[in-house]
Structure formats: C-alpha cells, structure tokens
Chains A and B, each alone.
Chain A
Amino acid sequence: GIQVEQSPPDLILQEGANSTLRCNFSDSVNNLQWFHQNPWGQLINLFYIPSGTKQNGRLSATTVATERYSLLYISSSQTTDSGVYFCSGGFKTIFGAGTRLFVKA
C-alpha cells in the first residue's frame, strides 16, 4: 500500500516565525488533504489539494502531484497554530504520522 512520510516530526517556533511542513507519498494520490488536529482532538480541514497551490489567510499549500509531495506553509505563526498537522491521501486514505507544532509566545 501507499506510504506517507511527514517531516519534520516535531517543530518548535517562536510566535511570528514562518515554517514549511512536507508530506511525501510513495505513489500518486488524487485526494490529498491537510488537517490540523487541535488540542481537543478535532481534525480541522485546512486544504483539499490534489494538485496546484491554494491559500487561506496565513496558510498556503502546494502539491506537486507528478513528484508525489505536498508542502504546507505557515506564515507569521500564532500560538493557536499549535497542534498536530496531518496529510492524508490514497484510495484507503492513508495518514502520515503527523508534524507536532508548538508555537511559543
């Protein structure tokens, strides 16, 4: 089956810093999603992005489908951005292990 690798596994930022999270797939997927899991466990949809680039406020994402990876950009990070960021995709909706982000005030 498809393997999903996320990096970095852990990230600590000072408030206001920018960051890039990466998601690599072992095979092509047509339903790539990014989620933020907040401290209460709710998975919040960030982007549905099988290909191309999307932006939503301070967040943006780019998927290069032909090279089987996606990037999530967080600009001017805030403490409320803390949590775990997951990417997922594939017929059996495989999730990566996540990137745990902590933003310090």
Chain B
Amino acid sequence: EAGVVQSPRYKIIEKKQPVAFWCNPISGHNTLYWYLQNLGQGPELLIRYENEEAVDDSQLPKDRFSAERLKGVDSTLKIQPAELGDSAVYLCASSLGVSEHSGNEQFFGPGTRLTVL
C-alpha cells in the first residue's frame, strides 16, 4: 500500500513569489492534515480536512496561506506571496478518521522543504 505522497520534495523561490505544495493521502483516508515544521521544532498543525471540509483552519495564516481539497482526496497548500520566514518543511498527513475515538492514527508524507530567498 502506498503511503502519503507529497510533491515537490524541495522548492527554492524568491520572496514575494507564490508556491504550491501537493499531497495525496493514503487511499481511503478521509482526514487530511497540513503541518509546518521549523528547524529544531515539532510539527505545528495548519489545517485539518474531513473529506472536503476544512474542520480546523484556526492556525492557518489566511492572509497569505490557502488550502483546498476539492474532491476529498488530494489537497493543495498555497502561499502567496511567500516571505523569508516561510522557509520550513511542510508536512502532509492522513488518517482513516472513522470517529472521534478510532481511526485517528496519523501517517506522514516525506514533506516539502521550502527555502525562500
């Protein structure tokens, strides 16, 4: 069974440019998560989807970040315009999402390492 797929693996852009990251979760997983991980820290949740619905986007900086999961499968995270401080690893994870009490084990993709110059 394929794991969570992310692309690109690395991205280098100039500040003020737009950038997009793509994630394909494990087949059958209803819940999808986007995280940001700064160097030397643990991942921080940006947004969580249950199927197509963003059920928690409270930590997504909405002035420049946006995300979508149109058909409830793969998802795109976009930054426009990028700032120097956005340099980080962007991680995608998925889980079955059966209920509040089961199916919540998360599986992570390899991440996209973003460098903003």
Residues of A near any B CB (own CB < 8 A): 30-31, 33, 35, 40-43, 45, 48, 86, 88, 91-98
A-B contact pairs, 23 of them (CB 8 A): A33-B105, A33-B106, A35-B108, A40-B110, A41-B113, A42-B110, A42-B111, A43-B43, A43-B91, A43-B93, A43-B108, A45-B105, A86-B42, A88-B43, A92-B45, A92-B59, A93-B33, A93-B45, A93-B48, A94-B45, A95-B42, A95-B44, A96-B42
Residues of B within 8 A of A35 (CB): 108
Contacts A41-B89, A43-B91 given; indicate if A95 touches B108 (C-beta within 8 A).
Answer: no
B-side interface residues, number (CB < 8 Å): 23
User: Would you call the interface of chain A mostly helix, strand, loop, or mixed?
Assistant: loop
Verify if B104 is at the interface (C-beta below 8 Å from A): yes
Report the bound CA distance from A66 to B42 in whole Å. 25
Instruction: Name the residue of chain B whose CB is nearest to the CB of A6.
Output: B42
Bound-complex Cα distance A43 to B42 (A): 11
A61 to B36, CA, bound (A): 26
- Assess the B105–A88 pair: CB atoms within 8 A: no
Would you call B107 an interface residue if the criterion is a C-beta within 8 Å of the partner chain's C-beta atoms?
A: yes
Q: Is the CB of B107 within 8 A of A45?
A: yes
Bound CA span A29–B33, Å: 18
Our pick among B41, B45, B105, B111 for the contact of A41 (Cβ within 8 Å) is B111
A42 to B104, CA, bound (A): 19
Cross-chain contact B101 with A97 (CB below 8 angstroms):
no
Contact of B104 among A31, A94, A98 (CB under 8 A): A31
The 8 closest A-B pairs by CB, nearest first: A95-B42, A48-B105, A43-B108, A31-B104, A93-B45, A95-B43, A86-B42, A42-B110
